[in-house]
């Protein structure tokens, strides 16, 4: 019984089929006339936008890869410059140290030379003073010794000069 009641729904009448076909064709015609072109145009526009976006994304991807390569090249260049600066700084430091050592050697040489000259001058002054003192002592001693032996003062002085000239001091 259920089968009989569903029968008109499963097998529609010829009039219903005709009207449904006509309605479908009218809707199809109206859609084709008014909606189909704008829908296809919108789909085409969207497809073009998607393709443009994909192309733009590819272009951006290529640009990013190029920028990455440029950045890596800049980093390498910066590292090389840094290494060159460090090397130059080390060379400058070494030159400064060598110059300072050389200057210190020169200054030490001057100080040693000045000290040697001063020592030599003081030595000569001490020797001269020593010669003078020895000379005085010799004269005094000779005078005392010869006073008794020589009565003439002129003979005494000539004898002392002879003795003094014979004395050699280093």
Residue-wise pLDDT tens digits, 91-142: 999 999 999 999 999 999 999 999 999 999 999 999 888 888 888 877 777 7
CA dist., res. 41 & res. 44, Å (int): 5
Instruction: Spell out the alpha helix ranges (H) of 11-152.
Output: 14-30, 37-149
* Helix, strand or coil, per DSSP, at residue 152: coil
Return the structure tokens found at 150.
Answer: 């020589």
| Domain residue spans of the chain | 2-166
Is pLDDT above 70 for 73? yes
Please provide the average confidence, as pLDDT, over all residues in the chain: 85
Structure confidence at residue 9 (pLDDT): 59
CA distance 144 to 60: 122
The confidence band for 1, taking pLDDT boundaries of 50, 70 and 90, is very low
What average pLDDT does this structure show over 22-35?
A: 89
Q: Answer with the residue of higher pLDDT: 8 or 164.
A: 164
Q: How far apart are CA 90 and CA 96, in angstroms?
A: 10
pLDDT in tens, 33-70: 888 888 888 899 999 999 999 999 999 999 999 999 99
CA distances from 132 to 37, 60, 125, 154 (A): 138, 105, 10, 22
Asked if residue 144 has pLDDT above 50, the reply is yes
Position 16 confidence tier, pLDDT thresholds 50, 70, 90: confident
3-state class of 139 per DSSP?
Answer: helix
Rounded Cα–Cα distance for residues 49 and 40 (Å): 14
pLDDT over 60 at 7, yes or no:
no
């Amino acid at each position: 019984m259920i089968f009989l009641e569903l029968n008109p729904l499963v097998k529609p009448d010829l009039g219903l089929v005709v009207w449904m076909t006509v309605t479908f064709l009218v809707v199809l015609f109206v859609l084709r006339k008014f909606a189909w072109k704008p829908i296809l145009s919108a789909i085409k526009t969207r497809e073009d936008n998607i393709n443009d976006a994909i192309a733009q994304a590819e272009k951006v991807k290529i640009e990013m890869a190029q920028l990455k390569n440029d950045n890596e090249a800049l980093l390498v260049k910066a590292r090389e410059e840094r290494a060159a600066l460090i090397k130059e700084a080390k060379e400058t430091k070494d030159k400064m140290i060598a110059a300072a050592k050389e200057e210190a050697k020169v200054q030490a040489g001057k100080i040693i030379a000045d000290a040697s000259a001063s020592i030599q001058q003081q030595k000569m002054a001490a020797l001269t003073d020593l010669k003078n003192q020895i000379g005085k002592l010799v004269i005094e001693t000779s005078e005392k010794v010869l006073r008794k032996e020589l009565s003439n003062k002129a003979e005494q002085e000539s004898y002392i000069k002879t003795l003094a000239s014979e004395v050699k001091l280093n």
